[in-house]
Amino acid sequence: MVLSLLLQDDVLITTSNPFTLDLGEDQQTCDATVVLLTADTAGTPGLSYQWFYNTVSQGPSTVGDDTFTVTAPNSGVYTVEVFDPADTTCVLSDEINITFNNQPIANTPDDLFQCDNGINAGVFDLTVNDAVVLGAQVPTDFVITYHNSLFDAGSGASPILNPTTYLITGTVEQIFVRIVDSTGTCFDTESFFINFFPISVSLGEDIETCSTDDIILTADTAGAVGLSYQWFYNAVSQGPSTLGDDNFTVTFPNSGTYSVEVFNTLDATCIVTDQVEVTYNNQPIANQPDDLFQCDNGINTGIFDLTVNDVIVLGAQIPADFNISYHNTAADASSGASPILNPTTYLITGTVEQIFVRIVDTTGTCFDTESFSSTFFQLLYL
């Protein structure tokens, strides 16, 4: 095929090397990598190429130089002029728009925590992560949305409509965040977890003890893990909070109020507390009482004053701190049931009777028992 051109001087020039030219469609990219442009001349050999960026030549025309490398962030209009060196009057040109869009980066958002302490409702403000996701990027250049699935975040579908008042589903939920440039072309995604964890603590019932043994307090958090504990005695801290330290040892004679503060290390504002009263009562000791004797001489009647043993049973213990009672059985003495109502005028049954004595502290909690014999014997005359 021969291409004929009629020039201004009415000179007909013909060329045997006709060609076409195409740079392709305009391009937008979210990458910061290079874009390689190729001047498609349908394989026509021997052509010369000159490239332009925003109408500014990027160098002299070069035979066979049919590619040009565009580097970020040089968005603009790229043009190529192509001609046959054998006929410089035959020039074709094409142009293409290259746009390097602003590729957003979704910085890793923070996991969010809330304490289920009976006051909080599990409603989260997801947008507190906006600034974290943006980082140093200019806020006006991007749009941030939150989604319930990775697919939705990737496509931009179904954004959470109430991100400032989002009600969690369950106790732990994964949220996906999408950051997109102002053109809507370039985006990035990340995810984080929101946590609504229940936290409770119980130290159990108040404790009264009659022993001098150590008492181990246990903070029952219903199996919750990852908690820190700080213990107090009469409102005075017993040391810094310690992860997992859910036990505390109470030693004699330190009666008082023991309390614990429990919090999740992921959210130190999530604190619950409980307290218990520990009382070391005064443990009485029943010293061995004296056996009592009375002679059946026709004058004595077998009536005994059992309380003469009070001072012996007490020993060096303070009388005002204890109560003493007398009983007919060991079981009654242990339980405190059926005390002898007339211990100062007790009529013996038979000639020998075992009497049981109970000494108890003023709280009625701690006691001790002992026993002695009352004997009413006769004198025999020969």
Minimum mean pLDDT among 17-31, 204-218, 242-256: which range?
Answer: 17-31
324-341 average pLDDT score: 96
User: What does the pLDDT read at residue 17?
Assistant: 66
Closest CA to 129 of 160, 89, 102: 160
User: What does the pLDDT read at residue 2?
Assistant: 34
pLDDT of 298 higher than 50: yes
Tokens of 62: 């070069």
Tokens of 122: 């599990």
User: What does the pLDDT read at residue 382?
Assistant: 41
CATH architecture of 207-280: Sandwich (2.60)
Can you count the helices (H) and strands (E) in the chain? Answer: 4, 30
Length of the chain: 382
CATH of 3-100, one of 2.40.70.10, 3.40.50.410, 2.60.40.10, 3.30.420.40: 2.60.40.10
Q: Please tell me the distance from the alpha carbon of residue 211 to that of residue 343, in angstroms, as a whole number.
A: 29
User: What does the pLDDT read at residue 11?
Assistant: 34
Q: Please tell me the distance from the alpha carbon of residue 90 to that of residue 212, in angstroms, as a whole number.
A: 112
β 172-181/187-198 pair status: antiparallel
Place of tokens 């941030």: 144
Instruction: State percent of the chain over pLDDT 90.
Output: 71
pLDDT of 100 higher than 70: yes
pLDDT of 195 higher than 60: yes
User: What does the pLDDT read at residue 337?
Assistant: 96
237-257 average pLDDT score: 95
Domain ranges of the chain: 3-100, 112-198, 207-280, 292-378
Instruction: State percent of the chain over pLDDT 70.
Output: 94
Minimum mean pLDDT among 49-53, 101-105, 326-330: which range?
Answer: 101-105
38-63 average pLDDT score: 95
Same fold, 112-198 and 292-378: yes
> What tens digit of pLDDT does each residue of 253-290 get?
999 999 999 988 777 777 889 999 999 988 899 999 99
pLDDT of 295 higher than 80: yes
| DSSP string for residues in 5-16 | EE-TTS-EEEES
pLDDT of 28 higher than 80: yes
C-beta neighbour count of 310 within 10 angstroms: 17
> Is 343 buried (19+), middle (13-18) or exposed (0-12) by CB count in 10 A?
buried
Asked whether the beta carbons of 59 and 68 are under 8 A apart, the reply is no
CATH of 112-198, one of 3.20.20, 2.60.40, 2.30.30, 2.40.30: 2.60.40
Closest CA to 82 of 46, 53, 54, 56: 46
CATH architecture of 292-378: Sandwich (2.60)
State the average pLDDT for the chain: 90
Query: pTM of the prediction?
Result: 0.50
Place of tokens 């008042």: 165
Closest CA to 117 of 7, 229, 270: 270
Tokens of 17: 């090397």
